[in-house]
Each structure stands twice: as C-alpha cells, then as structure tokens.
Amino acid sequence: MATVFEKIIAGELPANILHRDDRVVAFTDIRPAAPTHVLVVPTKVIETVDDIGDEDEALVGHMIIVARDLARRLGIASDGYRLIFNCRTHGGQEVYHLHLHLLGGRVLGPLVQRG
C-alpha cells in the first residue's frame, strides 16, 4: 500500500513543496516540531534506513546536500540545525518511506530523552 509520502510525490495529496528534482522531493512537515521542519524524501521507495542499498550511496548523499541548501535558503544555516533519520519502532519511525528531517529555527535541546 502506498504511504502518504508516495501520494505527496505523485501529487495525489497536497503538501507545501519546497524542492523537487529527479531524485528527491522536500516539503514541510504537517506537524512541525520546530519553526522550520522539512522532510527530504527520495522519489525511490526505500522503506527504512536499514533498507538503503550500497547502490543508494549517492542518493543519500544528495538528500543531505538538498537539506543543506534548504537550510541556507530558509535562513537557519548560520544558527545551525539538526538532521534526523528515524528507523523502525525504536527509532520512532511513523512513515515507512525513507526521509530526512531538517529541523531548526530554535535551540532544539537534547538529542534524545535520557532513561
């Protein structure tokens, strides 16, 4: 079954799309956890970080380059930001289509809750 991200990529679900090229689409998160919260999503369906293949090395690098450029464009690069991949249940992954979170616009606090 297609995930919500596949539907957004196909234009079947609305989203605030900030970037699109031949390999990735980036759009704002529907439930932002920070003033800037963007998802960088490959058009290729890869369910989790654990499903990334060696052949996807350039694609994953491209996702990071797109996030870097968006951070600059959105004015959060100089103060800094966080990039996150969540993987499966313990990682808190909700949508099983690989995506990179770009978060910024405020001090984000500790990486994870301790304990």
CB of 2 to ligand 5GP, least distance (A): 12
Report the interface residues with ligand 5GP, using CB under 6 A: 4, 13, 15, 27, 29-31, 39, 86, 92-95
CB of 5 to ligand 5GP, least distance (A): 8
Q: Is 99 a catalytic residue?
A: yes
* 78 versus 112: smaller Cβ distance to ligand 5GP: 112
| DSSP bridge pairs for 24 | 42
* 39 versus 78: smaller Cβ distance to ligand 5GP: 39
Give the integer Cα–Cα distance in Å for 81 and 71. 8
* 43 versus 93: smaller Cβ distance to ligand 5GP: 93
Residues tagged active-site: 99
